[in-house]
Structure 1
Amino acid sequence: MPQPHGGFEASPTGLRIVIEREVGFGLEEIWDAFTTPEGLEPWVGVLRGTREAGDLQFSMVEGGQEASPANLRIHRCRAPHELSFTTDSEYGAWNLGLELSRQDGVSTIRFIQDLGLTDDPSTIGPGWEYYVQRAIVSLEGGDVESVKWDDYYPALAPAYTRASE
């Protein structure tokens, strides 16, 4: 069973979930996996449009089914170190972030989601654990389908309940 790699942190707007993983890949490789259509497609979904045109859309893909697209708005981008963005979809607005750093040949991925008052972190945390693991498996050239949702939820839900803040 996977172990949690994240938890809660205070944020300027309240509380956030942060998933933190250390990997041996370079920052540019990780950045591409999280920010380009070619990098995202193998492990999470489809990115369409361009930042310059202001028409970015992202659709998650699970089991071959593409979800309704979310509009994506970038707030801050300092490639290959920091990305802050919002997705607006039928599920509401999600404020997300990616922070990458490297020291002594080890890169650290910090994937962040700011929580709203009605967000359920007991499903959100395990979800991002699952997807970050899929990203790592994709970077390794492995089969992302080997990462099973049922291994992450509900097993990791207790680590992401508001009671554990």
Structure 2
Amino acid sequence: MVEATGTVAEGEHGPELVFQRVYDVPVTTVWAHVAESDKLETWIGRWETEESTGRVLFYMTAESDEAEAEECLVRDCSPPHRLVVDTRTPTGTWHLSLGIQTTPHGTVLTFAQRLGADDIGSVGPGWDYYLDRLSAVLGGESASDIDWDDYYPALSDHYAALAPEGGVAPNPPQDGLEH
């Protein structure tokens, strides 16, 4: 049985859904799996850059080989410790951040998504699912062994209960990413 691991914390720009994972691999290995397209694709999707425009596109290929491109704006890329992106989804803009640090307990990945209008009851299980896929890959296992049906709707009530009282405002458009 899978467990919900996300918490809600106050971030720099409002409430965020935050996840942490600890890995027994170097920081550079975790970084490679979130920043290098070929390794990223082993658990969630791939990055592509349009050379003519410089636009960064993300394809969530874990869901479909014919995934639609989502435009990404890279706000901070400080290898191998920090990656902050805004990505346009069908429901609006998602503000995502990843921090990777070495600790006495191993390499810690902290992933956060700023809360907006999206349903935290579906977003939370989704990130647990994808981060568990990353954990499987970093542990030498196949991401395909992780089954979405174990996460949703089983974890939905847990995450729905974490929603801030009164909800949160929709995420406003950010430089270059209009809704």
The offset of 1:47, in angstroms, is: 1.1
Distance 2:140 2:4 in 1: 23
Q: How does 1:14-33 map to 2 (within 5 A)?
A: 14-33=14-33
CA deviation digits over 1:114-155, x for unaligned, max 9? 011x21111101100000110111122211111001111111
The offset of 1:162, in angstroms, is: 4.5
- What is the SS of the residue equivalent to 2:93? strand
Distance 1:34 1:27 in 2: 11
Deviates more, 1:155-164 or 1:125-134: 155-164
Whose strand proportion is higher, 1 or 2? 1
Show the counterpart of 1:82.
Answer: 82
RMSD of Structure 2 on Structure 1 (CA): 2.0
- What is the SS of the residue equivalent to 2:3? coil
Return the letter of the residue paired with 1:127. G
> Retained in 2: the 8 A contact 1:138–1:144?
yes
Distance 2:139 2:10 in 1: 32
1:69 aligns with 2:58: no
Show the counterpart of 1:139.
Answer: 138
Runs of at least 4 residues off by over 6 Å = none
Deviates more, 1:127-136 or 1:103-112: 103-112
Q: Unaligned 5+ residue runs, structure 1?
A: none
Return the letter of the residue paired with 1:54. G
Distance 1:50 1:160 in 2: 36
Distance 1:134 1:97 in 2: 18
Distance 1:99 1:35, change over 3 A: same
Q: Unaligned 5+ residue runs, structure 2?
A: 165-179
Output the TM-score relative to the length of structure 1: 0.90
Distance 1:46 1:107, change over 3 A: same
The offset of 1:15, in angstroms, is: 1.1
Distance 1:104 1:15, change over 3 A: same
> Retained in 2: the 8 A contact 1:28–1:80?
yes
Q: How does 1:4-43 map to 2 (within 5 A)?
A: 4-43=4-43
The offset of 1:72, in angstroms, is: 0.9
Distance 2:83 2:121 in 1: 24
> Retained in 1: the 8 A contact 2:22–2:105?
no
The offset of 1:63, in angstroms, is: 5.1
The offset of 1:89, in angstroms, is: 3.2
The offset of 1:90, in angstroms, is: 2.5
Show the counterpart of 1:125.
Answer: 124
The offset of 1:46, in angstroms, is: 1.9
> Retained in 2: the 8 A contact 1:5–1:21?
no
1:101 aligns with 2:101: yes
Return the letter of the residue paired with 1:140. G
